[in-house]
Amino acid sequence: MQKIFLARQPIVDRRENLLAFELLFRSANSEAAEVVDGTHATAQVMVNAFEEMGIADVLGVHKGFVNLDADLLHSDLIELLPRNQVVIELLETITIDAAIITRCHELKEKGFSLALDDVVELKDEIKPLLGVVEVVKLDLMQIGPARLSGLVSELKQYPVKLLAEKVEDREQARRCLEMGFDMFQGYYFARPEILSGKRTNPSRLVLLRILTLMLSGADNSEIEEAFKEHAELAYNLMRMVNSVGTGLGTKISSVKHGLVVMGRLPLQRWVQLLLYASNKVQGKVSPLMQLAATRGKFMELVAQQECPHDIDYADRAFMVGMMSLLDTLIGESLAEIVSRISLHEEVENALLKRSGDMGELLALCESLETDDMASLQQKLCTHSRLSVNELNNAQLKALSWANAITNW
């Protein structure tokens, strides 16, 4: 069976709210000869992922864009995918002929949504599909600024939504907004250092102070008072504690009750999550919050597999994953943030130097997030105790957990 990694990239709307994910299935085989029928293997993995592994649950209310080549497009396996959950993305390598056009009409009639990938010019052969597909993705890396405006104007004549792909920086994002793009995807939105810019607000600073109190061993009464000074934070904490994601059967009625029932370490985690929850705008899920929650849980699960008898190691792994994005959220360097918090030496070295086992695990996680397969393969050699299946299972569980948490 072909070994597959799953990566995903966020797709956001014009307000940078999380809209969908592009799901990226990548082969883990070093030699192509190991795969007897790669197309069939990938199709089978995709179907299994949705039907058996619960990616539909992982996506939550969001859709998943799935890349298909010509063989996969014609495969009956594709019709087993949840049509209300996926957007079929036609790869640029597909030769658009009568059979492809007919197949796209069939899939649309069956309830599937379709998108054209990596469009760089309005060729005659793609025009018949512009009445069938819902989304056209424009590859900014292959289209110069001078050509982009004209191409957008041409495509605006058709009933399609335009997605700017490979948006690398703020200036590109601004120009695409002005040109009327509907959706955006790229490192500008996916790379942690610029996911949410450098905006901050007082509640985040208060939560950081509460986190510092917890890490310094302050009494519950001090922490309780810190929450009571900010009614909105206390309310949000109660919502978080009472959410299904905690797994608690007891309803929490007060901050004091929450402190007692949850215990210090679980509550500390919720404060970290609340830090990222403060990045929500009008109830919309932030890509940053999704990424932080997924990263923390993924690192915890992998740490549990590597050191099953060391609970503290898994707890530290969760903290590293969550805290690795605080510089983006707070608008300060990690070195500045860490200097104000008493952290375990292993955690601090992982955050600031990417050193030690924990630092290597964080780097592995980042390679998965950016779909850097060469780097991922190299880092897997370091974590030789991890199988591809274990890595994938941890990733799927982390994505599912993060989706439940970030939609409370």
Closest CA to 53 of 407, 372, 278, 389: 389
Q: Inform me whether the pLDDT recorded for 37 exceeds 80.
A: no
* pLDDT value of position 43: 62
Bigger pLDDT: 327 or 156? 156
Bigger pLDDT: 341 or 240? 341
d(CA 47, CA 289): 28
The beta-carbon contacts of 331-335 under 8 Å, at least 24 apart in sequence, are 331/198, 331/199, 331/200
* pLDDT value of position 241: 62
Bigger pLDDT: 142 or 16? 142
Q: What is the mean pLDDT of the chain?
A: 77
d(CA 181, CA 163): 6
Q: Which domains does the chain have, with CATH numbers?
A: 4-190 (3.20.20.450), 191-408 (1.10.3210)
Closest CA to 361 of 400, 401, 316: 316
Residue 67 pLDDT grade (very low, low, confident, very high; cuts 50, 70, 90): confident
* pLDDT value of position 98: 93
CA distances from 31 to 25, 28, 35, 209, 390 (A): 16, 9, 8, 51, 21
pLDDT digits (tens, 9 = 90+) for 353-379: 989 888 988 988 887 776 666 777 777
Contacts (Cβ under 8 Å, ≥6 apart) of 2:
27, 29, 34, 35, 38, 41, 42, 45
Bigger pLDDT: 110 or 237? 110
Helices (H), 216-355: 220-228, 231-242, 255-262, 264-277, 287-306, 311-323, 326-330, 334-339, 345-353
Residue 208 pLDDT grade (very low, low, confident, very high; cuts 50, 70, 90): confident
Residue 50 pLDDT grade (very low, low, confident, very high; cuts 50, 70, 90): low
* pLDDT value of position 35: 36
* pLDDT value of position 138: 95
d(CA 18, CA 7): 16
Contacts (Cβ under 8 Å, ≥6 apart) of 26:
4, 5, 6, 7, 371, 373
Q: Inform me whether the pLDDT recorded for 82 exceeds 90.
A: no
CA distances from 225 to 61, 205, 210, 235, 277 (A): 36, 16, 10, 13, 21
- The H or E element containing residue 61 is none
Q: Inform me whether the pLDDT recorded for 337 exceeds 50.
A: yes
pLDDT digits (tens, 9 = 90+) for 245-264: 455 555 656 667 767 777 77
Q: Inform me whether the pLDDT recorded for 11 exceeds 80.
A: yes
pLDDT digits (tens, 9 = 90+) for 181-195: 999 998 776 554 333
Q: Among 99-113, 126-140, 224-238, name the one with the lowest average pLDDT.
A: 224-238
Highest mean pLDDT among 98-112, 220-234, 370-384 belongs to: 98-112
d(CA 199, CA 327): 11
Size (the chain), residues: 408
Contacts (Cβ under 8 Å, ≥6 apart) of 384:
none
DSSP letter at 91?
A: -
97 by DSSP, 3-state: which? Answer: coil
